Amino acid sequence: MRIALIGGRDFQQFPTQSYGGVETCVENLAWGLHKARKDFVCIVPKRTVVQDYPFEVIESNVAPLSGPADNVWPFAQSLPAIIKAVKPDVIWAQAFWAAETLKSLNIPIICTFHDFVPDTARKNAWFTFRENTWYRFISQFQFNQWVDAAADLLRDRSFWLHTGLADHEFDLGPAQERQDYYLWVAGLNWGWHTKGLALFIELAKRHPEKQFLAYGTGRREIEAQLTTLARTLPNFEFGGALERGQAHRTAFARARLFLMPTQMPEPFGRTVIESMSKGTPVLGSTNGAVPELIAPGLSGHTATALDDYSRLLDHQYDHEACYAYSRRFHIDIEIAFLTRTSEQILSSGHTRNTPSATKDKATLSVEQLLGQAMYLHQCGDLAAAEDLYQRLLGQAPSDADALNLLGVLYLQRRQPKQAEMLIRKAITVAPDQAEYHQNLANVLKFQDISSSQAHSHPCRPSPDQAHEAVTLPPEDHAMRCPTEQTTCLKRWDVIQAVLDRIQGHTYLEIGIDRGESFRRIRARRKVGVDPAPTQNMMDELLDQAAVTQFHYNTDDSGHTTHIRLEARTQDQQRLVHQNEAASILFTTSDRFFAQLAPDLFRLQRISVALLDGLHTHTQTYADVDNTLAFLDESGVILIHDCNPPTAAAAYPAESWATAAQMNIPCWTGSWCGDVWKSIVRLRSRRSDLHVCVLDCDYGIGIVRRGRPERMLEFTDDQIDRMTFKDLQGQRERLLNLKPQGYLDEVLIHL
């Protein structure tokens, strides 16, 4: 199969000299095709800088454009003659206009869109169906903007796939060379605000103790202003143009943090993955596709307001873990997917959505199988990814990457025994891979084995850090290796702080699951409620506590299992401690409040409650309402999972198991549901409650009696219709989102 890879857009050149996002994508694709030993030719405008490549490059007689206002059509119109001469089997075009002049040749075209959606008229003109054209978008965000669900024909011919980086872009560098500056890189033609330059400068002014470094070129007046500012602001430096190549890689590799506070709907945000590929985490905005690329707490964070950016500057990240996470954006994955798509188009001649996961897999190499499997895994198609991993291991049983990733997949499915077996095999093959040990630690988390973190290489954490590692949320499956104690508050930290402050006597937890929070809380009386006991919980009960009462009610009015516990030991991590009483009731929260709570809390009302049950906003709101009926006058209700980091984590479903079976794009196993809407509803309906959310541990809602800071004015119907996009654009306003340090102010007023 011969491929024609077409570059050339606006004023960017090949090889890329400056920022040139699209042409950088083309250049990386060319290197990826060369590495995979594909038969291809790269077609570009007439170059002003000539560089020898080990692959074929053909120049048009049309020079590169001098600016974004120049006409792209002369280059596009020169393409048909070149294509007829090189005789490709398939064309990979990087713009709609390049594909437009080639459609009449009746050669299959995969047309990649790199733009955010324009006005409707231009969208209709650019995005038009042709029998031999398929449309590829570079992010899920961009795909959703462009593709109308009602336009079935276009949807069948459309798919999305993140762009990738070639081998030379992955450059972690020695730890001792990393410096402590905050980095901003973008073109200055965007002005002060579009790419967040003004916000970056404001952060430098707010934090004179920190160093800020900006690179950019474009508008001369902005360059002059930045040069002047660097003379008057001691902690700010302007580096001017940052050329591609080693200087570009070094600038990112030595930074503490890369800031991308973009205000535009980024169709992808390539500098995000360029930064992560150097082990440098990213603090970005929630605009466009940026949140798709960042794993919160692992490879960076997203923020909406200046205060959020300011607070997150001090967050401690593990650079090696960030680097390992970035490997999912390797060019090999993009090449494997596009190559397979092209092969299917040529062999079938039919419309398609994404490459079949079941056809002709035996023709793929081990490398191609891994790339295809990783992409499907990333997009949430676990069944198809599992099939490909298994086929790969059939060909190469000792492939460590496949063993590790299949283990991660099983962990996402809550199958820890299979996951442990596979990841241990991967470690046997490649014992020095830190990411494998970290993934094993996350597997052992589900079996309550905290010693696993000690085996992680090259980290040497303290016992407390080892325990923290095995209690990471599922979203952190991918290769986190903490080198410093995390400063992020967990829900049990907040619960205990509130209990201690109000000298609370009775603690209620709805949704105890494995007892991760329940076992940590010290209170004279603890009541836990969950619909059904898990195996891990029952094992822990039998191991750690004496069961003094076991009652199972099977009549129509009950359906409740009631277990009463007394402590066996004084171990600090036990479910119940000496001089404490704990009851665990396996029933629904609705039945609990209706039938059991009146007697349980008749004499001693609830001091603090944690609601972490069914992750739907309607049930959470009902649980708040029911808890208030039994809450002490000074009591506090805490709600977990109020601030989901991604659309996948916020996907509405009836349960985690249901969500896991829905093949949600970019699903990682981390799930909050739409609990956040219960906060919006409380703030819209209850003028007698003070409601806020702490920005830690997936968002901890705090509900207490008192005057609200400000009310919202949404109807129930409006709240029901809200989606993650509504939350993403206005988290602070909807949730009354507070930094975790706000807990101190809450405690003062209790």
More confident residue, 522 or 553: 522
Q: Which fold would CATH assign to domain 491-748?
A: Rossmann fold (3.40.50)
171-328 and 491-748 agree in CATH topology: yes
The alpha-helical segments, DSSP class H, found in 597-666 are: 597-600, 617-628, 656-660
- 418 is written with which tokens? 């299979």
Spatial contact of 196 and 185, defined as CB atoms under 8 Å apart: no
- Mean pLDDT, rounded, for 8-24: 60
Angle, helices 400-412/366-378, rounded to nearest 10 degrees: 20
Residues 6+ apart with CB under 8 A from 191: 197, 219, 222
Backbone angles phi, psi at 122, to 5 degrees: -70, -35
Spatial contact of 29 and 331, defined as CB atoms under 8 Å apart: yes
Residues 6+ apart with CB under 8 A from 543: none
Domain spanning 397-486: which CATH class is it, in words?
A: mainly alpha
Spatial contact of 212 and 204, defined as CB atoms under 8 Å apart: yes
Spatial contact of 185 and 278, defined as CB atoms under 8 Å apart: no
Model pLDDT, residue 495: 95
- Mean pLDDT, rounded, for 224-238: 96
The residue count of the chain comes to 750
Least confident of 123-137, 306-320, 513-527, 572-586: 572-586
- The string of pLDDT tens digits covering residues 684-695 is 999 999 999 999
Measured at the CA of 367, the angle between CA 362 and CA 373, to 5 degrees, comes to: 75
Spatial contact of 99 and 91, defined as CB atoms under 8 Å apart: yes
Least confident of 238-252, 270-284, 356-370, 695-709: 356-370
Checking if the pLDDT of 148 tops 70, the result is no
**pLDDT confidence band for 123 (50 / 70 / 90):** low
Model pLDDT, residue 379: 56
Over the Cα atoms of the chain, what is R_g? Answer: 28
**Preceding amide of 15 cis, omega within 30:** yes
> What residue spans define the domains of the chain?
2-160, 171-328, 397-486, 491-748
- What is the rounded distance in angstroms from the CA atom of residue 467 to the CA atom of residue 450? 5
Spatial contact of 290 and 272, defined as CB atoms under 8 Å apart: yes
Helix H or strand E segment including 32: helix 21-35
What pTM does this model have? Answer: 0.52
Question: Coil, helix or strand for 283?
Answer: strand
Model pLDDT, residue 636: 97
Nearest to 126 by CA among 105, 110, 111, 104: 111
Measured at the CA of 568, the angle between CA 567 and CA 572, to 5 degrees, comes to: 70
Spatial contact of 682 and 692, defined as CB atoms under 8 Å apart: no
**Preceding amide of 458 cis, omega within 30:** yes
Spatial contact of 393 and 399, defined as CB atoms under 8 Å apart: yes
Q: How far is CA 105 from the centre of its chain?
A: 41
Q: Which fold would CATH assign to domain 2-160?
A: Rossmann fold (3.40.50)
**pLDDT confidence band for 203 (50 / 70 / 90):** very high
Strand arrangement, sheet containing 211-215 = 236-238, 211-215, 181-185, 257-260, 282-284, 300-302
Checking if the pLDDT of 477 tops 70, the result is no
Spatial contact of 275 and 256, defined as CB atoms under 8 Å apart: no
Least confident of 411-420, 489-498, 536-545, 692-701: 536-545
State how far the alpha carbon of 618 is from the alpha carbons of 309, 587, 614, 661, 673, in Å: 32, 18, 9, 22, 11
- What is the rounded distance in angstroms from the CA atom of residue 479 to the CA atom of residue 436? 7
Residues 6+ apart with CB under 8 A from 576: 526, 544, 545, 565, 566, 567, 582
Q: Which CATH superfamily is domain 171-328 in?
A: Glycogen Phosphorylase B; (3.40.50.2000)
Angle, helices 400-412/382-395, rounded to nearest 10 degrees: 150
Mean pLDDT computed over every residue of the chain: 79
Which amino acid makes up residue 149? A
